[in-house]
Amino acid sequence: MIFYFCFEGAVPLYPKCDGSKLMGFHRASTRIISFGPAAALLIASVPLAGTETASDPTKIPPKQLVREVVNQEVDSSEADHSRWMYRQQHTDPRSNELKECIDTSEGTICRVLARNGHPLTPQEEQQEIQQIQELAGNPARLREQQKARRQDADRALKMEQLLPDAFDYEYDGREGRYVRLRFRPALNFRPPDRESRVFHGMVGSLLVDPESKRLVAIKGQLVKDVDFGLGLLGRLRRGGSFQVRREEVGKGVWQTTLLDVNIHGRAIFFRTINARQHEVTDNFKRVPSNLTVAQAASMLEGPLFEARSEHAR
């Protein structure tokens, strides 16, 4: 999972970074977020050998475990075509909104439940319904956003392929049944492109499920400034940090439940993540994989939405 950033200080460079109804971050984040301010690798995994190794994953080299985890993330991502309805609390320097969102094959559509901790007024509720109806009548807007997310995901996948080689890892204990690993830049790593240069300035930790080979959490911090194009194309300043937490919401399906980003600087990588934001996602409910935008809009206006929104308050 990889982060790409798009920001100029705290102000997004793209209108799609403002957490609007067209937000597709959540699904993209499941596949994109983790390294860089929202893990995948096309390297064959090596099966654990022997009962001793199988019972204690720390018996194998940490890089090998990371390779197996990110390889499984790729396989699972390609096989997962599930759609979800979920609640999301999104906070950034410009907004604080609680939303109900639904994934469709054409994009993600959301309805705001509350702003700044307060339920919407009747007038604001009506505006929400009107905007949802407009989106349902113009799915091309969502498809365009979906196309941008796919491009971001493809770019992310290229970076994810570098993870085991970009960092050195060491075991750092357990959290319950999960294994924690610390990482730091690998001295012999040569970034093949501009985006992956961010790895040179990053340290942090991974939390993985050694049985299912899934990424549970990641924390990262920039310990030195990272310049792009001698600073002309961007600069990320030391001290920036990010955190991602994921949970299994269905059999073999993991989703991002926590995203915390606090990055200082300027860069143009990813179009759906702000430089500073905090996002908590929960209350997942699976919806049909062939759900249309019009059907999702009806769900956000119907009794199911009213019941879930009352529960959220």
pLDDT digits (tens, 9 = 90+) for 227-258: 755 444 456 778 888 899 999 999 999 999 99
Positive or negative: CA dihedral 133, 139, 141, 143: positive
The answer to which of 81-85, 167-171, 193-197, 270-274 has the lowest mean pLDDT is: 270-274
| Gap between the Cα atoms of 297 and 107, Å rounded | 12
Q: What is the pLDDT of residue 234?
A: 58
- The CA angle 262-264-270, to the nearest 5 degrees, is 75
* Residue-range definition of the domain harbouring residue 75: 6-312
Confidence band for 96, pLDDT divided at 50, 70 and 90: very high
Positive or negative: CA dihedral 28, 29, 32, 38: positive
Q: Torsions phi, psi of 25, nearest 5? A: -55, -40
91 touches 279 (CB < 8 A): yes
Answer left, alpha or beta for residue 242, where phi above 0 means left and psi between -120 and 50 means alpha. beta
pLDDT at 280 over 90: yes
- Top-confidence range, 4-13, 31-40, 145-154: 145-154
Q: What is the pLDDT of residue 37?
A: 36
Structure tokens at 221: 């911090």
Could you report how far apart the first and last alpha carbons of the chain are, in Å? 32
164 touches 43 (CB < 8 A): yes
- Environment class of 140 (CB within 10 Å of its CB; exposed 0-12, middle 13-18, buried 19+): exposed
Q: What is the pLDDT of residue 136?
A: 85
How many structural domains compose the chain?
1
What is the DSSP code (8-state) at residue 121?
Answer: P
| Gap between the Cα atoms of 280 and 87, Å rounded | 8
Q: What is the pLDDT of residue 161?
A: 75
What is the DSSP code (8-state) at residue 16?
Answer: G
The more confident residue out of 108 and 282 is 282
| Gap between the Cα atoms of 38 and 294, Å rounded | 28
The more confident residue out of 294 and 231 is 294
| Gap between the Cα atoms of 27 and 219, Å rounded | 20
- What's the full length of the chain, in residues? 313
pLDDT at 266 over 80: no
Residue 110 lies in a domain: yes
pLDDT at 155 over 90: no
Q: What is the pLDDT of residue 305?
A: 56
Model pTM greater than 0.85?
no
218 touches 1 (CB < 8 A): yes
The more confident residue out of 100 and 10 is 100
87 touches 285 (CB < 8 A): no
Structure tokens at 260: 């915390």
Residue 1 lies in a domain: no
Confidence band for 29, pLDDT divided at 50, 70 and 90: very low
Residue 28 lies in a domain: yes
Q: HEC profile for 132-148?
A: HHHHHHCHHHHHHHHHH
Mean pLDDT across the chain: 77
Confidence band for 21, pLDDT divided at 50, 70 and 90: very low
pLDDT digits (tens, 9 = 90+) for 40-68: 332 233 333 334 445 688 889 999 999 99
| Gap between the Cα atoms of 313 and 306, Å rounded | 11
Q: What is the pLDDT of residue 9?
A: 37
Estimate to the nearest angstrom the gap between the alpha carbon of 254 and the chain centroid: 11
Q: In 10 A of CB 295, how many CB atoms?
A: 15
